[in-house]
Structure 1
Amino acid sequence: MLLDELHPESKAWSTSPRQISIALTNVCDLHCGYCYAPKRKASLRTEQVLSWLKELDAEGCIGIGFGGGEPTLHPDFVNICKRAAGETELAVTFTTHGHRLTPQLVERLKGSIHFARISVDGVGRTYEEQRGKQFSSLLQGIESIANLSPFGINVVVNERTVAELDAISDLAQMGGASELLLLPQQATSAVESIDETVGQALRDWVSNYRGKVRLAVSEAGASELPTCDPFPEERGLRAYAHIDASGVLRASSYSPAGAKIGDAGVLSALERLRNASEIK
């Protein structure tokens, strides 16, 4: 189907964002300096999450991605994934650092995950210095995730990792990844966004990329970089939104503005967030 040949009226569009990411918990056993997740402890309740997923499913959402923090550290992670896959039509994905993907966890998750992502910010010593974990342990995580579902590799692109994109691309191909997602580093309380030198190096690398693994670039920080948007007319909160571990709906995980999801549900918070952004 060629989606650009279909032009339904905007009033017929789904009210839900097409994709929602949900931080199940802020807890993580890594301490990456460029991490956007808040450092205050917070986790979402299972029934709360499932209620939101069913509402989003009914309103036209296509997929949800669980993250954090480290989502596998949520005490009910497996049950949430199983129920999301079994009780909704949503595509269920999650992003992990990969160091907790034991064979037992992978076996419990099988059949509930449609796609998974593993974060690979550099190779060898660069990875170990940025993430504080052994690179050999990451390689075991990649092997485990390949036994779970189709998967992609994420890389935060900064002054350390931009020079290692060739090596990460080779790792993605050898490990059996179906996608390599580039995430230009965004400003947090601890780090700045990538500068023009790194940005230009990234643009040059993307323009010369000839690898076999599908390349993708996050919309955040994708200035002058190609992105693939299956619904090109649906932008902003119609395309994507993020729910943090405190139950606040945001335009993205980096957005300071948000709307608390109350008893009225996700779509009510979405409407409040949209109205607030229009006023500005």
Structure 2
Amino acid sequence: MKFRIGPNGVHLFDRLSGLNILVDELRPKEAIWSTAPRQVSIALTNVCDLHCAYCYAPKHKASLHTDQVLGWLKELDTEGCLGIGFGGGEPTLHPDFVNICKRAAGETQLAVTFTTHGHRLTPQLAERLKGSIHFVRISVDGVGRTYEEQRGKQFASLLRGIESIATLAPFGINVVVNERTVAELDALSELAQEVGASELLLLPQQATSTVASMDGVVSRALQGWVSNYVGKVRLAVSEAGASGLPTCDPLPDERGLQAYAHIDASGMLRASSYSPACVKIEDAGALSALKRLRNTFEIKRETQS
């Protein structure tokens, strides 16, 4: 098992089983806390063959180089990061996607996950990825016609992709919650159970250049649905959309860049994919960029106070 030291104790994690153990009787001094975020997401490419209006990903072409990514992962692994999530764009469109996943799993102790629209997950691709992936997230925004109108792809094609994913690794379903999908959360919960998903991740819609954030009516409907949920699939929610929802955080003192960071396809380090504040990861590496970003936030807080 890999361990991580933080303000809430010593966190033990097994990437194969997904088992987490927190030894919270121990309260390590800040000087020995792990310096890397617990989880880091990396947009391998901005390229995507879908054109969803609510997508936050930048639309300019950019992709990361394999050796560059692996160098960052080894740094993060050494300093206590537990898992890496590849995204985009559509990560399977990165020309070296399979090799990056294989090397990440083989050359680090990180849990390797990725988020996909699922339409490129053929049985052949799933077979090539086996042994390198510990969890997959598949985006399913609505069912049937709702999905097809929002994503521009056949729902039947998605279901075939899910079949392939189910042979690869444990997986969860993500749903962007907006005025179209909030009424289909029951159907999505049923779908998640039918296909064997272990988690239903709720992503309340965030503002982009083309859509507004989830409004109050949808927010109240989501809160009501979660409060009355009796499904068997575990619910989770994005930190950005968790306000007003009953959540349980086992690591309440591990916040901000201690918990999470995002690297975009241009090699910019951010607090999240939505955060405008960023620093370029230069030759000194990811941890140097992380220190500079933390300093930026500290200076901002001191200025505001």
Paired position in structure 2 for 1:226:
246
- Number of equivalences: 280
Partner Cα separation in structure 2 for residue 198 and residue 147 of structure 1? 35
What secondary structure sits across from 2:241 in the alignment?
A: coil
Displacement of 1:149: 0.2
Structure-1 separation of matches of 2:48 and 2:119:
11
SS state at 1:49 partner: helix
Cα offsets for 1:88-133 (capped at 9, x unmatched): 0000000000000011100000000000010000000100000000
Offset at residue 3 of structure 1 (A): 4.0
> What is residue 139 of structure 1 aligned with on the other side?
159
Amino acid at match of 2:219: G
Kept after mapping to 2: 8 A contact 1:217/1:226: no
Q: Partner of 2:136 in structure 1?
A: 116
Structure 2 partner of 1:63: 83
Could you list the per-position Cα deviations for residues 228-280 of structure 1 after superposition, in whole angstroms to 9, with x for gaps in the alignment?
43422110000000000000000000111101000010111111111111111
Quote the residue 1:272 is aligned against: 292
Distance (whole Å) between structure 1 residues aligned to residue 267 and residue 92 of structure 2: 18
The aligned residue for residue 256 of structure 2 is 236
Alignment RMSD: 0.9
Measured in 2, the distance between the counterparts of 1:255 and 1:108 equals 34
Q: Distance in 2 between matches of 1:213 and 1:42?
A: 36
Distance in 1 (alpha carbons) for counterparts of 2:248 and 2:124: 35
Q: Conserved in 2, the CA contact under 8 Å of 1:15 and 1:60?
A: yes
Name structure 2 gaps, 5 residues minimum.
Answer: 1-20, 301-305
User: How far apart, CA to CA, are the structure 1 residues paired with 2:251 and 2:34?
Assistant: 12
* 1:185 and 2:216 are equivalent in the alignment: no
What is the CA-CA distance between 1:6 and the residue it aligns to? 3.2
Cα 1:58–1:2 shift into 2, 3 Å: closer
Instruction: Read off the aligned partner of 1:130 and give its amino acid letter.
Output: Q
Aligned residue among 185, 191, 198 for 1:171: 191
Partner of 1:207: 227
1:53 is matched with which residue? 73
Q: Check the 8 A contact 1:17/1:237 in 2, yes or no.
A: yes
* Counterpart secondary structure, 2:64: coil
2:115 to 95, 107, 118: 95
What displacement does 1:7 show?
A: 2.0
Matched position secondary structure for 2:176: strand
Unaligned runs of 5+ in 1: none
Distance 1:16 1:227 in 2: 24
How far apart, CA to CA, are the structure 2 residues paired with 1:153 and 1:106? 17
Alignment match, 1:33 = 53
TM-score by structure 1 length?
Answer: 0.98
| Corresponding residue for residue 85 of structure 1 | 105
Please tell me the residue identity of whatever aligns with 1:264: A
One-letter amino acid of the counterpart of residue 272, structure 2: S
* Distance (whole Å) between structure 2 residues aligned to residue 214 and residue 10 of structure 1: 33
Asked if 2 retains the 8 angstrom alpha-carbon contact of 1:35 and 1:188, the reply is: yes
CA distance in 2, matches of 1:275, 1:41: 29
C-alpha distance in 2 between matches for 1:249 and 1:38: 14
Amino acid at match of 1:261: I
Provide the rounded CA distance (Å) in 2 between the counterparts of 1:14 and 1:68: 27
| CA displacement at 1:9 relative to structure 2 | 1.9
Q: Are the aligned partners of 1:218 and 1:227 in contact in 2 as well (CA < 8 Å)?
A: no
* Aligned partners of 1:181 and 1:218 also within 8 Å: yes
Q: Determine if contact 1:24/1:67 at 8 Å carries over to the other structure.
A: yes
44, 48, 65: which is aligned to 1:24? 44
Within 2, Cα distance between the matches of 1:21 and 1:230? Answer: 20
